[in-house]
Amino acid sequence: MELTENKLKQRVQRNILTVSVLILVGKFIAYYLTNSVGVLTDAMESIVNVVAGAISLFSLCLSEKPKDQNHPFGHGKIELISASIEGILISIAGGMIIYEGIKRLLVPTDIQKIDVGIYIIAVSGLLNYLMGWYSIAVGKKYDSIALVAGGKHLQSDTYSTIGLVAGLVLLYFTGIAWIDSAMALIFGSVIIITGISILRKTTDNLLDKADINLLADLADTLNRNRKPEWIDIHNVKVLKSGNSLYMDCDLTIPWYYNIEQGHKIGARLQEAMKAKYSDHAVLNIHLDPCNIFETPKCNKCMCTDCPYRKEKFVAVEEINVTTFIRNEVEFSE
């Protein structure tokens, strides 16, 4: 049986969670053998990976629920909440790691079997990178913020692991004890920055901040599929919920068209959006007559057979982000 997009995302997250648990066990074994606070930083971040992975899996399962009377836009926003929780957990883990690094700097302890720890941490880092790449690839393909955020976190964990392995190698050959604490302080700070970055992005999405890249992509799609009757498209609003897009826009058409003609023009616009975004896009269109504006738009209208033209056609106005967000008041100014 063919998997749906949501089922596929759930399977990806379930696989990542399983491997994360195995990595967590391996890292704590490495910490038990080495007593290195640097290794402990990696192990503590793996706890965050497992908890965040479990939350992401839960959010993906919940986001699959269909729209209902209380949730007319579906449950896709839960993925943003999941990513926000992950960002908070990452930041907390970074703070705990810095605390342990300072504590170990003030009260040094013996470090043992560093070579074994290096092998375990290096293999764990490689697995984290591969899982992160896999999660980001699937997340981008199916527009899942939860999978992309989780994948970036796993890859940031890998980058810190590379530095940690380098530090452990240096510690192994030099025996300088404070190197261990220095690694904890550095990587703890990097982890906090990663958490804050994830939080900033998810907060913007929860507040429905305008996505300029998405609007630019929409404008490009409409320019490539533009019909002569689409005199202007403006007052565009986009709400993103999971991998679904809910869009409102005002479409300017010739003022003398009847209701049936206007409906057909709007349907063509919906078809263009469906071809680009499949069934993930829901478009509501408000039709404006071209004579609603104080300044005639005849010189920008491609309807060459218009019997009421007041000016010659000069050039079509390209659809872009700036024209998208204009409203009638701005047009009349």
Q: How does residue 79 score in pLDDT terms, banded at 50, 70 and 90?
A: low
Q: How does residue 331 score in pLDDT terms, banded at 50, 70 and 90?
A: very low
The domain ranges of the chain are: 5-206, 212-332
Distance CA 212, CA 208 (A): 12
How does strand 232-241 pair with strand 244-253?
A: antiparallel
What's the alpha-carbon Rg for the chain, to the nearest Å? 27
First to last CA, the chain: 57
Q: How does residue 145 score in pLDDT terms, banded at 50, 70 and 90?
A: low
In this predicted structure, what is the pLDDT of residue 92? Answer: 81
Q: Over 80: is that where the pLDDT of 24 sits? A: yes
In the chain, the amino acid numbered 164 is L
Summary mean pLDDT of the chain: 76
In this predicted structure, what is the pLDDT of residue 210? Answer: 59
Q: How does residue 229 score in pLDDT terms, banded at 50, 70 and 90?
A: confident
Distance CA 104, CA 102 (A): 5
In this predicted structure, what is the pLDDT of residue 76? Answer: 60
pLDDT, one tens digit per residue, over 251-289 is 888 888 888 988 888 888 888 887 777 666 777 888 888
Q: Over 60: is that where the pLDDT of 327 sits? A: no
In this predicted structure, what is the pLDDT of residue 127? Answer: 87
pLDDT, one tens digit per residue, over 298-318 is 878 888 788 888 888 787 777
The fold of the 212-332 domain, in CATH, is: Alpha-Beta Plaits (3.30.70)
How does strand 244-253 pair with strand 281-289?
A: parallel
The fold of the 5-206 domain, in CATH, is: Alpha-lytic protease prodomain-like (1.20.1510)
Least confident of 72-86, 94-108, 185-199: 72-86
pLDDT, one tens digit per residue, over 156-203 is 777 777 777 887 788 778 777 777 777 778 777 877 887 787 777 777
Q: Over 50: is that where the pLDDT of 329 sits? A: no
pLDDT higher for 68 or 127?
Answer: 127
